Amino acid sequence: MFEEHLQKLPHGREFCFIDSIVSLEHGKSAEGKYMVKGDEAFLKGHFPELPIMPGVILVESVAQLAGVAVQSDLHSAPLADLRLCAMKNVKIKGTATPGEVMFISAEVTGRLGSLIQARGTVYVNEEMILTAELTLGGRLDQ
């Protein structure tokens, strides 16, 4: 239903950590899901005996979902080259392993021109495994 919004992200499909968008409030917030398939290339080395999603990928999933919310704003033009610029107050409290579904949420908390402030969470099995505050930046095209 909301998959057309995923196409507005600059990532190739191989580096998209959102399988589906569950809800979207244009320009404000989004919720999505990602199932850890187990065949992701990076899991072979993280860690071979007990594969877990790297913490930076958990953060990336929130950044991507925040990007979906920002790029769907009905009152502002999409930003070109939208990227993750900064992270703060990142807390990794758990893990996601193959076969588990990550429930991701992102909320836009502020916007100043081409800079976006957002916060988000990732849950697995109703347990919060990540909280983060992020800054995204892009370019305003005229």
Q: Tell me which residue of 5, 23, 122, 3 sits closest to 73, measured CA to CA.
A: 5
Long-range contacts, stretch 124-128, CB < 8 angstroms, 24+ apart: 124/94, 124/95, 124/96, 124/100, 125/100, 127/93, 127/94, 128/93, 128/94
| Spatial separation of the C-alpha atoms in residues 19 and 4, rounded to whole Å | 12
Among 5, 11, 26, 46, the active-site one is 46
Q: Is 11 a catalytic residue?
A: no
Pairing outcome for strands 101-112 and 29-35: antiparallel
As annotated, the active-site residues are: 46
